Structure 1
Amino acid sequence: MSLQMRLSAITLDCADPLALAAFYQQATGLEPHPKSNADFAGLNRADGLFIGFQRVDDYRAPQWPDQTLPQQIHLDFEVEDLDEAETRLLELGAGKPEQQPNEARWRVLTDPAGHPFCLVRG
């Protein structure tokens, strides 16, 4: 008998949960969780998926692709137009590492807290 599991939440460590939640809210259009605060903020998706952002003292951002501070997890977002999505996210405060393994198919960006995420052609 297999175990039935449904992904319900993804939580990222960061120094400023409200700021990181605002970045992802602007990027995705997800709804802010009504109980978000300075220690833990979140976004809700209509199907129930929750993306959380928790404050960690002395947070140190991962360094992609360097593994001195490994990424440990990253998110992928499908987009119709890589260039348009990249431009918009950079305007919102994302960063773009020099290392881009396959820019024609996907883009590696970093959120304002340093977490790498990918834009993939949908």
Structure 2
Amino acid sequence: MPLVTAGVVVLDCAEPEKLAVFYKELLQAEETEATADLVEIRAVGGLRLGFRRDANATPPSWPRPENSFQAHLDFLVEDLDAAERKVVALGGRTLEAKEAPGPYEERGCADPAGHTFTLRRTRQRGPKQG
């Protein structure tokens, strides 16, 4: 048995209930625990996220250098455009798009509380061409 196992990624925010709804909808997750100051969810595939109340939470300022990265999440998607539309519909926003050809296309986004994450296109798993 390992000494340390993966737990929960916790994001501090002013309104954990609202942020949990954003990620529950984005990840098709289920709520596993809720208290006055913490909401936890579990996504398909087992990713666990927590949202902890902090009235003094300061959103990251990425891409500006001051207070830029506090944490960063990557989400794999098949359809970047559809995923981006869902983020925006749920109250998030797009920060940056990298339209490089190939399997590494990605888009920088922020959730409603300002935490940054990347939508990254999943690699094609078909046979190699040529």
Q: Do the two structures share a fold, i.e. TM-score over 0.5? A: yes
Structure 1: segments with no counterpart, 5+ residues: none
Q: Which residue in 2 is equivalent to 1:106?
A: 106
TM-score when scaled to structure 1? 0.86
Q: Which residue in 1 is equivalent to 2:11?
A: 12
Q: Which residue in 2 is equivalent to 1:73?
A: 71
| Larger of the two Rg values belongs to structure | 2
1:90 alignment partner, SS class: helix
Query: Counterparts of 1:36-75 in structure 2 under 5 Å?
Result: 36-45=34-43, 48-75=46-73
1:118 aligns with 2:114: no
1:25 alignment partner, SS class: helix
- The alignment yields a C-alpha RMSD, in angstroms, of 1.8
State the aligned residue count.
Answer: 117
Query: Counterparts of 1:16-27 in structure 2 under 5 Å?
Result: 16-27=15-26
Structure 2: segments with no counterpart, 5+ residues: 123-130
Equivalent-residue separation in structure 2 for 1:47 and 1:107 (angstroms): 22
Equivalent-residue separation in structure 2 for 1:82 and 1:56 (angstroms): 32
Same amino acid, percent of matched pairs: 38
Q: How far did residue 48 of structure 1 move?
A: 4.9
